[in-house]
Chains A and B, each alone.
Chain A
Amino acid sequence: MADKARFSVGDKVRVRNLPTILYSRTQEYLRGAPGTITRVTYESLAPEDEAFNREDEKPEWFYIVRFKMADLWKSYAGPPQDTLQSEIVERWLEPCLA
């Protein structure tokens, strides 16, 4: 089973900018974006491992992360409180200190 979840609800995180050589479900538009953990969802194989049948890899925790639209798009014209959420696997997240 997975290790203890690294992040908890309320933690500030940033989506990492890992090289995507093959398969990933972490969207390009989220790379490098700062967000907040709003849910710890479940543990599962990371999509990269699942896609290549690496069943013996350790599962990781998944999180719902909330982003401010203004942090995702430089020219976002909507109100500052608009947000977006997405579900990200632990290996794609790092603590955001800013």
Chain B
Amino acid sequence: MVKTPDVTNIRVKLLEHLVERGQVWNRMAEKYGVTNPVPPWKSSLDGMCDALDKYGAVLPTVTRREEEDNLTERQYAELPFPESQLVSLAHSLIARKIIDENALTNRMAEVRDRLESCT
């Protein structure tokens, strides 16, 4: 449908590391006895996808979904949904150099510190 750079050719170490650490919702929910079928960040992720779609130029919907399908099949096959949707989105943005992998790594460390200091 849309001829785009093949983002499945690019590896993103940061994301692969997250997959390895495996903190996926169905495991975490089971560990803590929580019955919600989706993680609490899912609606925020959907909000992000809708907000991106609003402007459309950066990553058109059809392209984003096609890449999500391909990445989910290939690189991130062990990830359940909706982690696959989130990681694919990050991968698409990093592959296009719209988001920098190092900047994201650093921001994730900051965010984790911020959240852990509140609990």
Residue ranges of A at the interface with B (Cβ–Cβ < 8 Å): 20-25, 27-28, 51, 53
Q: Beta-carbon contacts of B1-23 to A below 8 Å, as 1s and 0s?
A: 11100000000000000000000
CA of A21 to CA of B3 in the docked complex: distance in angstroms?
A: 8
**Chain A at the B interface: SS class:** loop
Instruction: Report the minimal beta-carbon distance from B75 to chain A, rounded to whole angstroms.
Output: 24
Interchain CB contact under 8 A, A20 and B1: yes
Using Cβ atoms and an 8 Å threshold, which residues of chain B touch A23?
Answer: 1-2, 60, 62
Using Cβ atoms and an 8 Å threshold, which residues of chain A touch B60?
Answer: 23, 51
Interchain CB contact under 8 A, B57 and A24: no
Residue ranges of B at the interface with A (Cβ–Cβ < 8 Å): 1-3, 56-57, 60, 62
Given A51-B56, A51-B60, A53-B57, are A24 and B1 neighbors across the interface (CB < 8 Å)? yes
Interchain CB contact under 8 A, B57 and A25: no
Instruction: Report the minimal beta-carbon distance from B112 to chain A, rounded to whole angstroms.
Output: 37
Using Cβ atoms and an 8 Å threshold, which residues of chain A touch B62?
Answer: 23, 25
Sample of 15 further A-B pairs with CB below 8 A, known A25-B1, A28-B1:
A20-B1, A21-B3, A22-B2, A22-B3, A23-B1, A23-B2, A23-B60, A23-B62, A24-B1, A24-B2, A25-B62, A27-B1, A51-B56, A51-B60, A53-B57
Using Cβ atoms and an 8 Å threshold, which residues of chain A touch B3?
Answer: 21-22
